[in-house]
Amino acid sequence: MNKLDPELDQRAQPPLLSVVGPTGVGKSALALSLAASYRGEIVNADSRQVYIGMDIGTSKPSLPDRQQVPHHLFDFVDPGTRFNLQWFLALARTKIWEIHQRGNLPIVVGGTGQYMHALIEGWETPNVPPQPAYRERLYELEERNGAGFLFQWLANTDPVTAKRLSPKNIRRIIRALEIAHFARTPSSTLRKQQPPPYRILVLGINTKSRTELYQLIDTRVDGMLDSGWLGEIKHLLELGHTKTNSALATMGYRELSDYLDGSLTLEEATTLVKFAHHRLARQQLTWFKPSDPQIHWLISGENLVVNASDLIQSHFDLTEFRDY
């Protein structure tokens, strides 16, 4: 994450707390505790927790938790609608402004690295609306020419953007090509950054080892299944959503849908779900690097709330907020 402009008087800027890290380490629980202590309001930065009816499989905060302190940007997008970075930034910035107007502390929480970086670093995204017909043509080209065709096209025309993306992330590859086509310039040349108008503290949560992280993830997946994840997916399928054209294409939902249609056994599907979550955690740690000096890293479960509170009190002058 980029440092803020040192010439700005950060002490005059309103505070923003960000909680980042890989899946399964306790970001939401920490944010809830901090929000209760510091008159905070939680803003979601997870690209899947925005979807209605996808509660268990995205580890969305429970309704009692959401009633305990204000939560924003959860449960407002139909699973058949694509949510994107531009939409997130517009909504998140508005919510943060509203929270500041109430004299409260915005706490942005989530594991979607692109969303969090864009918000904290002040990205301005290209104003190119989705073009369904063009996207369909690109999907057809990928299918006709084989996996990797569109990524190579992007690498040849916009190597800066291609370097940031995984060759397997077909959705973002297509978005980059779409922007380049309709804006008539590579998307990397359209991305602008403005120093964000916040005094930012970024807290990162991680485990001591990759093995411990995977164990946490596997236990969490088992708990999600015990809590009725399959029933949640069945309901979404009954509503007409499919694993190919909606948010159900996301990890976990896709593999368990394969079990429900008989393509996999439950044991096979569960193993694939766990591996998919392991892969997500690794990807998240490429966005939230342990070596990033802008992130104050904490160890999951080790005096987490106390250590986070110490950092908050040393970073923010909370005397200006009398009720904190």
Q: Are 80 and 245 in contact (CB under 8 A)?
A: yes
Residues 6+ positions from 179 with CB-CB distance below 8 Å: 126, 128, 187, 190
- Average pLDDT for 126-142: 85
> What CATH code would you report for 132-190?
1.10.20.140
Q: Would you state the pLDDT for residue 46?
A: 96
Average per-residue pLDDT for the chain: 90
- Stretch(es) of the chain classified as CATH 3.40.50.300: 13-125+193-320
- Three-class DSSP category at 89: helix
- Stretch(es) of the chain classified as CATH 1.10.20.140: 132-190
Better-predicted residue by pLDDT, 192 or 58: 58
pLDDT digits (tens, 9 = 90+) for 79-104: 999 898 889 999 999 999 999 999 99
- Exposure string over 152-162, b if 16+ CB within 10 A, otherwise e: ebbbeebeebb
Better-predicted residue by pLDDT, 268 or 248: 268
Class in CATH terms, 13-125+193-320: alpha beta
- Amino acid symbol at 73: L
pLDDT digits (tens, 9 = 90+) for 10-42: 567 899 999 999 999 999 999 999 999 999 999
Instruction: Please report which helix (H) or strand (E) contains residue 259, including its range.
Output: helix 253-260
d(CA 67, CA 61): 10
Share of the chain above pLDDT 70, in %: 94
pLDDT digits (tens, 9 = 90+) for 213-256: 999 999 999 999 999 999 999 999 999 998 877 788 889 999 99
Q: Would you state the pLDDT for residue 324?
A: 40
- Average pLDDT for 153-179: 88
- Is the pLDDT confidence value at 151 over 70? yes
Q: Are 311 and 194 in contact (CB under 8 A)?
A: no
Q: Are 176 and 164 in contact (CB under 8 A)?
A: no
Q: Which residue has the tokens 């380049």?
A: 180
Closest CA to 256 of 240, 241, 271, 278: 271
Q: Which residue has the tokens 């309001």?
A: 41
Q: Would you state the pLDDT for residue 127?
A: 73
